[in-house]
Chain A
Amino acid sequence: MRTVLPPTGPLRSGRLIAAVTVGVIGLALALSGCTATSGSSGSTTLVLYNAQHEQTTAALVAAFTKQTGIQVKIDNDDEDVLTAKIEQEGTRSPADVFFTENSNWLQQLADRGMLSKVDSTTLANVPAQDSAKDDDWVAVSARVSALVYNTRDLTAAEMPTSVLQLADPRWKGKIEIAPAETDFWPIVSSVDHTYGDAKTLAWLKGLKANAGANGVVPDNETLTADVNSGSAKIALINHYYFDRLRAETGASSIHSALSYFAAGDAGYLKTYSGAAILKSSTHQAAAQKLVAFLTSKAGQETLAKSDSFEYPLAAGVAANSADTPLRDLHPSTTFTPAEFGTGEDAKRLLQEAQLL
């Protein structure tokens, strides 16, 4: 055994680097720890995980803060990523409220027992069948599925009357689809409930063949923009994407129009955006207030007046004047959020058709 005096040479510079590294990281962590604790003092601040379109949520939250004085911080991301984030965060999630575009994500968290029950007064603001049957989440707004077509190449008379016709070879190379967009899943689910697995699968395969390699796109915004520019001729979207494009680009640059299927068709759906309160939230009361506001008359009016173009659900609140009045539309009455659930059927079929 040798009792080496403080080692020399490269040993020492190595140890020095080691020490400097540890020191710098330690200091950084200490500093960030300070900033982390100093940030969250004072009155209640809610954290809203938002997957809804940012402009809609921003307008709603501004109105809520004005009314209640409760501050809200918004974390924007896609609903699937936010769901993954909430599941990773578990009981320590900073999120108080989760606002999604589609209800299945909320239902998935509800099935895992991660949501608080929504106050009954809040649930009473909107039609009962629109929200979760176990009171886990409340519906906030609705939209209706529609075809968008390029008006330079197609006319309203040429539009299919049933969603099944979109698999017809007539649309080969003309249609684009966005199977990874959650908005498409209720339609798959509804077709499955109406026609069964075999027929739905055949229909999906037809759609896939019609879309081809270049016609599978990531989202509804792309579908709408592509149809308007003419690089696609027809696509299946929710009505408000068309309204938004028109609001963004101005009516003069619009070369497309909406068309609806025949009344009650399996592809003619009213689907819901919803909100829920996380069970892990330490601000349950304030969170209930925010969700209540979203469905209140004030909240619903804000929604209707915003550039969201989704349909408010509260009784007596008129929709945006740019939208076709809901009473003139005739979506399927048999397909409900309960039937959609977590969208498992749709996912399974899309996987089988190799669209996902």
Chain B
Amino acid sequence: MSTIEISSASKHFGPTPVLDGVNLSVAEGSMTAILGSSGSGKTTLLRIIAGFEHLDAGSLSIDGIIMDDTNTVVHAQHRGIGYVPQDGALFPHLSAAGNVGFGLPRHDRSRALDYLEMVGLGGFADRRPHELSGGQQQRVALARALAVRPRVVLLDEPFSSLDASLRLSVRRDVARILSETGTTSIVVTHDQDEALSMADQVAVLSGGRVLALSTPRGLYTSPPNEAAAAHLGEINVLQARLENDIAHSVLGELALTAEAASGSGVVMVRAEQVRLHDHSVPASVAARVVQFDFYGHDALVHLALETEPDVAIVARVDGGSAARAGDATWLTVEGSAVVLAE
């Protein structure tokens, strides 16, 4: 059974459509990531689920009960939805325990301490928000949302304000706590790593529409369109002539993940599928290194084909690669190409 069911959800702010026919189901106990750039409508979608905004059209139900449609609106405070906003948004005038206990009945305030314990901040009950680090604030915000035992927890860009090293550990902690408590959750993010690593399903949102909805792996390996694919890392989009399960392209003959109708089409090859060789190998294509972006663990190489200098190719290679701008190189493609809908 689906915990959250959203169908044909639309929302306008003035004449501007912010959400345009969004459909989404979230299974009980799972985590869904909504991936999108700023202005995609992802925060609005979250605020509608939370009950801070209302739908113009479509419907939202939780556990089969209508929360918002053209006839009914249920108050935010009656939805049983925990909300963890950007930066945590702790109440600045209350202590950590005061924040976590905010939604608890008076006789049950001691539970606040249990939840602080759970997020690893047992000794910080009396600290004020400004006395906590960013990661600690975020964990208090999660404890506050979980303390009222919500049916669903919504997280709005919860880790974007944390620095890189902290982000990983807090992300892991949060994912662990959510799965341990069996809480259904939705996390809004613009970070593909976050979406792919944490979620059971990922929805790619752009211009108020869901471009793709799938498991992280499914979305990564076979995105339905170029826009969705582009949200999940560097890609090469190539014009190709399709013939059964083969695509004829500037990178040579590429195997396809699935058989396609013959004719001309567009295929995608991820940057990490492109291999560089320092000499010609069978089925390789000659190219020149235009730019080499070094990231330590890996590197991004921008290339121009010798035969088709106007086609830019990008490859992700091991950080130890010796390639430098201006070098001649030969490319091969590993694995299969994906046919994209045009």
Contacts and interface: CB of A to CB of B under 8 A. Distances in A.
Q: Do chains A and B touch in the complex (CB under 8 A)?
A: yes
Interface string B235-249: 000000000000000
A9 interface: yes
B70 interface: yes
Contacts of B77: 8
A2 interface: yes
Interface string A1-31: 0111111110000000000000000000000
A4 B72 CA distance: 6
B73 A4 contact: yes
Contacts of A5: 72-75
Given A8-B51, A9-B51, A9-B52, A2 B75 contact: no
B71 interface: yes
B76 interface: yes
Interface residues of B, number: 11
B23 to A, nearest CB: 21
A6 B75 contact: yes
Contacts of A2: 70-73
Interface in B39-92: 51-52, 54, 70-77
Nearest to A4: B73
Nearest to B77: A8
Interface residues of A, number: 8
For the complex, would chain A's binding face be called helix, strand, loop or mixed by DSSP majority?
loop
B71 A8 contact: no
Contacts of A4: 73
A8 B70 contact: no
B152 to A, nearest CB: 17
Nearest to B75: A8
A2 B73 CA distance: 9
Contacts of B72: 2-3, 5
A6 B77 CA distance: 12
B189 to A, nearest CB: 24
Contacts of B54: 8
A192 B74 CA distance: 82
Nearest to B76: A8
A5 B68 CA distance: 10
A7 B76 CA distance: 10
A2 B72 CA distance: 7
Most chain-B CB neighbours within 10 Å: which of A2, A5, A8?
A8
A14 to B, nearest CB: 14
Give 5 closest A-B pairs by Cβ, nearest first.
A8-B75, A8-B76, A5-B73, A9-B52, A4-B73
